Amino acid sequence: MGTEPRIRVSAILSWGGRILLCRHEKNGRAYWLLPGGGVNSGEGLVRALHRELAEEVGLDDEIPVEGPVAIVDSIAPVRSFAAKHVVHIIFSGDLEGRSLETVTSRDAAVRGHRLFDVGELDEIVLHPPIQRFLGRWRPGDPVVYLGPLWAP
């Protein structure tokens, strides 16, 4: 058997009808993620999310979040180099009325931030690949299990 699944919390942060994503690089390849990160042992999901939003986006005030709004299994294919299983628990939050000029990261893995219109999401590498969900999701929708997704 491989390692235990890792739990990752993240948030769909909307501002002006657009979604904030964080740019990461690994092995010379760039990809985008919803802001968030791993949950530490004994740490609550919302507490972990606020900690990660402070680290990745510089949001030190604990913005109100709703959810979870979606859950995703991201499982590496059997043929991959390393066994990896991440359970993504996705919340939502509204950044309206905030200045995003001060968005800065204290996380060395984050290489920048950008607001995306939903129509732009098909043009980027998003992990996990949940573009279709983000295109139809609306605040107040029930929790959705998006099923197992395998990384490309």
The predicted model gives 9-33 an average pLDDT of 88
Which homologous superfamily does the CATH classification assign to the domain defined by 6-149?
Nucleoside Triphosphate Pyrophosphohydrolase (3.90.79.10)
**Structure confidence by residue, pLDDT tens digits, 39-82:** 999 999 999 999 999 888 888 788 899 989 999 988 877 665 66
CA distance 20 to 18: 7
pTM: 0.85
Residue 151 has pLDDT above 50, yes or no: no
Phi and psi, residue 140, nearest 5°: 95, -10
**Structure confidence by residue, pLDDT tens digits, 92-137:** 998 887 766 666 666 666 778 888 998 899 899 888 888 888 888 8
Query: 3-state SS string over 74-85?
Result: EECCCCCCCCCE
Q: Where are any strands of DSSP class E within the chain?
A: 6-15, 18-26, 29-33, 36-38, 65-75, 85-94, 110-116, 144-149
Closest by CA to 52, choosing from 108, 107, 7, is: 107
Beta bridge partners of 90: 10, 70
CA distance 89 to 115: 21
Domains of the chain: which residue ranges? 6-149
- List, in order, residues 6 or more apart from 64 with CB less than 8 Å away: 93, 94
CA distance 134 to 119: 10
